[in-house]
Structure 1
């Protein structure tokens, strides 16, 4: 006989374990590459695909029924072709980039525009604190795959540092 030493969340009380396992396993083969996950992904230089596993990430697309329900964080895999990246932005909570394959140039930036960059390779990561302007660029010759985690189950849509992008940061949710 086994004893659960912690209570299940309310939504899982009385749910059979086979149902839990079906709902809480996500396979890469079943993920759809979302090339319109972010407003800046429409702009050359920022094109990338999000593969959602847990929750929605910073895209704001919280209605994705194929991803595992988020509790206290989100998890996605990003595919970024050479020469692409994302726009400088912030989040209300921390965001982690963990490189799986390829090389990713990550940056942090202050409000005066000073930017510091570091190249990350496989099995290296950065944790971007809440409110710190950050982003990434694939300046290598090969695609990069990396994991993204955001420290809230339903985070706000990313806060672009660029004023024009910030004004339309939710437009991708309307299409």
Structure 2
């Protein structure tokens, strides 16, 4: 009879449950709104920093290799085309939709109109942007996965590319 595998035990310090309700943060990406109001949306971070590098507060679980957040997308709004060079992104739409998700990589462009319960995966190094042109606020779950997500950058010809942060 084979010897059963043993696993290290999970210790209480290995499990993190936030003490406070996570709140929508409209300040993390405020620099975009300051440049163009159509970029007004909020992010609620649950695991990690969402690649924004916003630190502090006890309303999120630390993330080592991925982040999980919810984007709150009012009507109308735009999420400027951006790239996470070393990170894959996944988007799930639990509420709303009727917007446009556009992806560009290696000169190839794809656009889709996701609706509620749709999911999209964007590979590392692909530019991704979105618009909420629907009739209601939309929610989008976002996961960014990498060993170490880097802060996103914009295409050289985009209005946001000239902003220093």
**Do they superpose with TM above 0.5?**
yes
Query: TM-score when scaled to structure 1?
Result: 0.76
Hey, what's the Cα distance between the residues in 2 that align with 1:4 and 1:32? 41
Report if aligned partners of 1:46, 1:84 keep a CA contact under 8 Å in 2: yes
- Give the number of the structure whose residues are more often strand, by fraction: 2
For 1:48, the equivalent position in structure 2 comes to: 41
Which runs of 5 or more residues in structure 1 are unaligned? none
Aligned CA distance change for structure 1 residues 100 and 26 (closer, same or farther; 3 Å): farther
Trace 1:1-175 onto structure 2 (pairs within 5 A).
5-7=6-8, 15=11, 17=12, 20-21=14-15, 23=16, 25-26=17-18, 30-38=21-29, 39-42=31-34, 43-91=36-84, 92-103=86-97, 104-109=99-104, 115-152=109-146, 154-162=148-156, 165-168=160-163, 171=165
- Give the number of the structure whose residues are more often helix, by fraction: 1
Question: Secondary structure in 2 aligned to 1:108?
Answer: strand
Query: TM-score when scaled to structure 2?
Result: 0.80
User: What CA RMSD, in Å, does the superposition of the two structures yield over aligned residues?
Assistant: 2.8
Which runs of 5 or more residues in structure 2 are unaligned? none
Hey, what's the Cα distance between the residues in 1 that align with 2:106 and 2:32? 20
Deviation at 1:110, TM superposition (A): 5.0
Hey, what's the Cα distance between the residues in 2 that align with 1:157 and 1:118? 25
Deviation at 1:142, TM superposition (A): 0.5
